[in-house]
Amino acid sequence: MTFSALDYTVFIGYIIFIIGLGLYVSREKKGHEKNSSDYFLASKALPWWAIGASLIAANISAEQFIGMSGSGYVIGLGIATYEWTAAITLIVVAKFFLPIFLKEGIYTMPQLLEIRYDRRVRTGLAVFWLLLYIFVNLTSVMYLGALALRTIMGVPLMWGIIGLAVFSALYTIYGGLKAVAWTDVVQVMVLIVGGLITTFFALNAVSGGHGVLAGFGDLLKQAPEKFDMILDKSNPNYSELPGLGVLLGGMWMAHFFYWGCNQYITQRALAARNIKEAQRGLMFGGYLKLLTPLIVVIPGIVAFALKADIAKPDEAYPWLLSTFVPVGLKGLAFAALIAAIVSSLSSMVNSTATIFSMDIYKQIIKKNASEKQLVLTGRIASAIALIVAVLIAPTLTTLEQAFQFIQEFTGFISPGIFAIFIFGLFWKKATANSALWAAVLTIPLSLGIKILIPTLPFLNRMGVVFLILSAIVIVITLIESREDSPKAIKIDKGLFHTDTVFNVGAIGIFAILAVFYTIWW
């Protein structure tokens, strides 16, 4: 790709600005030493717009820009189901999950499991999350980001991985969630504007220079098979998106695990000023999710329609960026991609540090740890997580569709974790032993069904595993006791009340989605 002096200036200026902003907002008042609330929960002072922006910045990463564009190239608009149904999930989580989380005053999701069950469940799930974040999430984001750097700028893969890790580390390790969340506000604006620039020029290319709307119309004509939201069994990609099973089955397990039980997502809401700000933040995030496919899926379909000269689907987005975005705007469009990558890296690193510090170090290694020691431990854990991920990321070079790999691998544990949370929050009888068995069996069950029924789509498999684990939780609980658990979550009358702004916003999301699915059913 040919970068002009202006492109380099924009790109390098963006990097310097983000690092400077992260360090600036992380400063503490004279005489105040950063404590665990400052470092892990941004002093519990985030407003709704910062929460919503940070949620999406944490979520949209290389796996969307690169991976989902690749899936858009192969599958089409159907992959947007992940984004659009996530908006519904955010509304449900905001109304029914957040009030409980904030009422309990937790730092981490494993901490809630000890409140509801016992320490065994807390520690087991903490280890699960640490392994998932480091060996799947961090490594895949680094690899995909470095792949983009190699394709667009010719940066060797390993140096790209190291560069992204260093960029994230420069402000995340020092500043914690406060640095991550406030830089995310800027990064989400950059990734949306920069992403739309790529989509604009790509669609304009489809129309032969006659504009975006004409380009979209031509795209519908040139690749009509890529605009089916619900795939039938004759579609070669049915195993990835199994028809109505997408809307009625296991995808909801993935969504509620990710948006409702996942530390690096819920941590932003836990850092809210109050419940109203937290709920409005998730609602705002839902609207941003409706916009996401225009930025990350449509470009992949455009690359397919234009018969992109690429070796594998995950090269679709970098190809568009290098081919159609004019000199002078490439720097901003590329900054958007880097913004998505680094914001997700920073979020995952900070949440990895939070779980290790609060659920492992403080609970097992040093129970009387001081606030200063917790912050130091968080910084050390952040650095180690990045180093491990840097060493592992190059091994992912054999992936064809990274987004699908991430979803399937995460799907091995999401049914069990979701079962533990849903029964813990809303069934007062659930016991600690039943939750522990769900945690222990989720991976063996998922792998067993994958081996025994290889033709079963992984989304449907998640649904089946969730139903089996639910039955196990119920049976074990009823064998142990038919009384309410003494550690059951107390739900007060009015706990799930939401204000008018949230309710109207939620109705708007449902209405927009109804229109989308009616058009592209």
Q: In a 3-state reduction of DSSP, which class is residue 453?
A: coil
* pLDDT exceeds cutoff 80 at 428: yes
- pLDDT greater than 60 at residue 400: no
Secondary structure of residue 481 in the 3-state scheme: coil
**Is 11 a member of any domain?**
no
Q: What are the residues facing 503 on neighbouring strands?
A: none
CA atoms within 13 A on the CB side of 124: 21
307 phi-psi bin (left φ>0, alpha ψ -120 to 50, beta other): left
- CA gap 124, 22 in Å, rounded: 33
* pLDDT tens, position by position, 189-229: 888 888 898 899 999 999 988 889 999 999 999 988 888 88
- As beta bridge partners, residue 272 has 46
Q: Please give the Cα distance from 136 to 61 (Å, whole number).
A: 14
Burial class (CB in 10 A: 0-12, 13-18, 19+), 96: middle
* Mean pLDDT computed over 17-33: 83
Residue 313, pLDDT score: 84
Q: Residue written as tokens 């105040």?
A: 32
Kindly give the interhelix angle for 371-392 and 330-355, rounded to the nearest 10 degrees. 120
Does 66 score more than 70 pLDDT?
yes
Tens of pLDDT, residue by residue over 194-204, are 889 889 999 99
Gap between the Cα atoms of 394 and 158, Å rounded:
7
Decide which of 279 and 321 is more confident: 279
| Share above pLDDT 90 across residues of the chain, in percent, rounded to a whole number | 51
Pick the more confident residue, 51 or 343: 51
Tell me how far apart the terminal alpha carbons of the chain are, to the nearest angstrom.
38
The answer to whether residue 164 sits within a structural domain is yes
**For the chain, what's the residue count?**
521
Quick check: is 210 in a domain?
yes
pLDDT band at 301 (very low <50, low <70, confident <90, very high): very high
CA 259 to chain centre: 8
Does 169 reside within a domain?
yes
Domain that holds residue 500: 39-410+491-519
Compute how many other C-beta atoms are within 10 angstroms of the C-beta atom of residue 327.
13
CB 240 within 8 A of CB 80: no
DSSP secondary structure of 229-298: SS--TTSTTTTTS-TTHHHHSTHHHHHHHHHHS-HHHHHHHHTBSSHHHHHHHHHHHHHHHHHHHHHHTH
Q: Say how far apart CA 303 and CA 201 lie, in whole Å.
A: 12
Cα 16 versus chain centre, distance? 25
Q: Is the pLDDT of residue 469 over 70?
A: yes
Residue type, 362: K
| CATH number, position 178 | 1.20.1730.10
**Assigned domain for 455 exists:** no
Written as six digits, the tokens of 397 are 């070079």
**CA-wise closest residue to 132 among 465, 421, 417, 454:** 417
Assigned token pair, 158: 């390993």
Domain count, the chain: 1
Assign residue 4 a region (left: φ > 0; alpha: ψ between -120 and 50; beta: otherwise). Answer: beta
- Rounded CA-CA distance 274/105 in Å is 11
Whole-prediction pTM? 0.91
Residue 403 has pLDDT above 60, yes or no: no
Q: Judge whether 441 lies within some domain.
A: no
**Residue 327 has which token pair?**
């000199």
* H or E stretch at 318: helix 316-324
Whether pLDDT at 362 is above 90: yes
Reported as type and span, the H/E element at residue 149 is helix 139-153
Residue 424 to residues 89, 115, 154, 414: CA-CA distances in angstroms? 19, 10, 50, 15
In whole angstroms, give the CA distance from residue 2 to residue 115.
56
Phi, psi (5° rounding) for residue 514?
-60, -40
Report which listed range, 22-26, 84-88, 250-254, 316-320, is most confident.
Answer: 84-88
Distances (CA, A) of 492 to 98, 103, 495, 503: 14, 10, 5, 20
Query: Is 316 part of any domain?
Result: yes
Express each pLDDT in 141-158 by its tens digit: 888 788 778 877 788 999
Residues 6+ apart with CB under 8 A from 210: 204
Residue 435 within a domain: no
Mean pLDDT over 339-348 rounds to 86
